[in-house]
Amino acid sequence: MKIVSGGGRAIIVQADVTRASEVQSLIEQTVAEFGPIDILVNNYSAAKGGLITFTKGLAKELAPFGVRVNAVSPGVIDTPYHEQFSSPEMMKTYAGMIPLGRVGTPGEVGKVICFLASGAASYLAGETIEIKGGMFMD
């Protein structure tokens, strides 16, 4: 794992989040390894609308316990997914639709997540940060 090879700590915990017992196990394993959970950053491209609503609701519920919940909403990010499912022509078309003129990188998404997990974001809760290079600005 890149996190571990880079000097960080990480674990992999598989869980079906539609099953309460598996979510409880995920939480228990995480707390056992790292201590109390202080921050949750929601990420995954499917059902973003539901995720945004879930983020706000969970943030409101957990804020009194000192847990900040936020979400990131990446746009077109140069990941292995696109290597497999998007042709170079498609990626060029995507880049042409993005005001910054290029697709994003996983590192750029990671930096936003690091910001959300840092003290610099200590007063952010229930927010969704779009990392899309200006794509779909309203």
Confidence of residue 47 (pLDDT cuts 50, 70, 90): low
Kindly state whether residues 103 and 130 are assigned to the same domain: yes
Other beta carbons within 10 Å of 138: 2
> What domain range includes position 31?
1-36
Residue 131 banded pLDDT, cuts 50, 70, 90: very high
| 2 and 47 share one domain | no
54 with 30, same domain? no
User: What's phi and psi for 3, nearest 5 deg?
Assistant: -65, -50
A 10 A CB-CB count for 9 gives: 9
Together in a domain, 17 and 69: no
Which class for 112: exposed (0-12), middle (13-18), buried (19 or more C-beta within 10 A)?
buried
- 44 is known as an active-site residue: yes
Q: Evaluate whether 130 touches 75 at the Cβ level (below 8 Å).
A: yes
pLDDT > 70 in the chain, percent: 94
45 and 28 together in one domain = no
Pairing of strands 128-131, 68-74: parallel
* Domain match, 32 and 43 both: no
d(CA 78, CA 104): 6
| 138 and 80 in a common domain | yes
Q: What is the pLDDT of residue 83?
A: 85
pLDDT at 1: 60
